[in-house]
Chains A and B, each alone.
Chain A
């Protein structure tokens, strides 16, 4: 039960990363749990924890379409820097969530799931419905784009 509770806390964090909005994340979280409870009551309980994340993913994408949309632009990319951890430490979780939620899907889902540090490689492929090279490229590009954003946000730390 402790493990499932931990999973559900991670589910909320996933929703928050996907939406960057605590209220919307809560709505999706509650809707997902209601759906699971309904299915369990009908004798068809979800088979694994991935079901929750798949379900929440689509709800988040649906919710995300209702608000402002990020422009589809090619973001700058920088090589990962060894000072990146000190740049990231200066961020608030909300800032990271804003950045992740602004990414186009499926990169958004891939980054949100990956940085939850909750899944293995196969689980990631299963939930994102991506092929290994696609997932790899999205994560690699995501890191570099985030690094470029960090460099733009905290330029002084590079020196």
Chain B
């Protein structure tokens, strides 16, 4: 036997060690016993306890007692306590793992539901918005809704119209440029909240060449910038600002014709 030094707590647990192994259902007790088995004192204690237990089991049971034991049970059916299961380390670990997987799955599902055709372009333009200065744009002071004709007349951009929800906002400037994929993008700077608008071609099906449509407004957020995107007539419109989607919600919630 090696000279294993047990801590005070381990000694305390070892003194209460059940005689039978299957009665050990406590993790700390199991650990203490694992260490104690290397000691001679514990072996002596176990032999002592086994002998005493054998003597107790030899207590004769009178016939009256055997006869008196009822045939039906007095104990209420056991209810499975969730606490007991929750304390099981294996079940606890499995539960946590399942919970984490479920959270990730829900997160991905929500993210997927929020995706829309043209989202990658919209995200790129959100980055552009964050690095654009007003002076980079040609000064144009008018209503945003009036710029559709301007883009058509000057740049031959068809359906580059600002939706009615944002049409009344006053503009500071605008420009038209080609993005990384060579798409023509119109950018507008408005007075209100230093908001920026982007108009760009909707994503197209590579086989048919048709624009991939989607209905309503879609929201994206990226690095403290937020945008709301809408597709109409094969052109996407995005209003972007520094902030959150909540800042844009009042604009898209009002119905305008």
Residues of B within 8 A of A8 (CB): 69
* A46/B29 in contact, CB under 8 A: no
Q: Is the CB of A136 within 8 A of B12?
A: yes
Which B residues between 26 and 73 are near A, CB-CB below 8 angstroms? 26, 29, 41, 44-45, 47-62, 64-66, 68-71, 73
Interface size class of A (residues with CB under 8 A): 35 or more
Is the CB–CB distance between A80 and B45 below 8 Å? yes
Report Cα–Cα, A114/B54, bound state, in Å: 12
- A132 pairs with B16, CB closer than 8 A: yes
**Chain A 1-41, CB within 8 Å of chain B: the 1/0 string?**
10011001100110011000010001001100100110110
The dominant DSSP class at the A interface is: helix
Complex Cα distance, B62 from A39, in Å, reads: 25
Q: Which A89-128 residues have C-beta < 8 A from chain B?
A: 89, 91, 93, 96-97, 114-117, 119-122, 124
**Which of A49, A88, A133 has a CB less than 8 Å from the CB of B51?**
A88
Residues of B within 8 A of A143 (CB): 45, 48-49
Query: In the bound complex, do residue B48 and residue A147 qualify as a contact, i.e. CB atoms below 8 Å apart?
Result: yes
Give the residue of B16, B50, B57, B59 whose beta carbon is less than 8 angstroms from that of A135.
B16
- The answer, yes or no, to whether A75 is at the interface (CB within 8 Å) is no
Known contacts: A26-B65, A88-B48, A96-B56. The answer to whether A124 contacts B41 by CB under 8 A is no
Question: Is B56 within 8 A of A81, CB to CB?
Answer: no
Encoded as 1 (CB less than 8 Å from any A CB) or 0, chain B from 179 to 196 comes to 000000000000000000
Enumerate 17 A-B pairs (CB-CB under 8 Å) in ascending A order.
A9-B65, A12-B65, A45-B75, A47-B76, A80-B45, A80-B48, A84-B51, A89-B51, A115-B53, A120-B23, A120-B24, A121-B24, A121-B29, A132-B12, A135-B16, A136-B12, A136-B13
Complex partner residue of B18 from A12, A96, A97, A117, CB under 8 angstroms: A117
- State the Cβ distance, A89 to closest chain B Cβ, in Å: 6
Q: Which residues on A sit within 8 Å (CB–CB) of B44?
A: 80-82, 84
Indicate if A140 sits at the interface (CB-CB under 8 A): yes
- The distance in angstroms between the C-alpha atoms of A114 and B23, with both chains bound, is 11
Are the CB atoms of B65 and A29 closer together than 8 Å?
yes
Contact of B20 with A by CB under 8 A: yes
List residues of A (49-103) whose CB comes within 8 Å of B's CBs: 49, 51, 80-82, 84-85, 88-89, 91, 93, 96-97
Collect the chain A residues with CB atoms within 8 Å of residue B11's CB.
136
Give the residues in chain B near A82, CB-CB below 8 Å: 44, 47
Q: In this complex, what residue of A is CB-closest to B53?
A: A117
Which one of A88, A122, A133 lies within 8 Å of B55 (CB-CB)? A88
CB pair B61 A85 closer than 8 Å: no
Q: Do A85 and B50 touch across chains, with their CB atoms under 8 A apart? A: yes
Residues of A within 8 A of B23 (CB): 117, 119-121
Q: Does B205 contact A (CB under 8 A)?
A: no
Q: Judging by beta carbons under 8 Å apart, are B61 and A9 in contact?
A: yes
A153–B45 CA distance with the chains assembled, in angstroms: 19
Shortest CB–CB separation between residue A103 and chain B, in angstroms? Answer: 13
Contact B75 A46, beta carbon cutoff 8 Å: yes
Decide yes or no: A88 and B76 within 8 Å by CB, A121-B18, A132-B12, A135-B16 being known contacts.
Answer: no
Q: Specify the chain B residue showing the minimal Cβ separation from A13.
A: B59
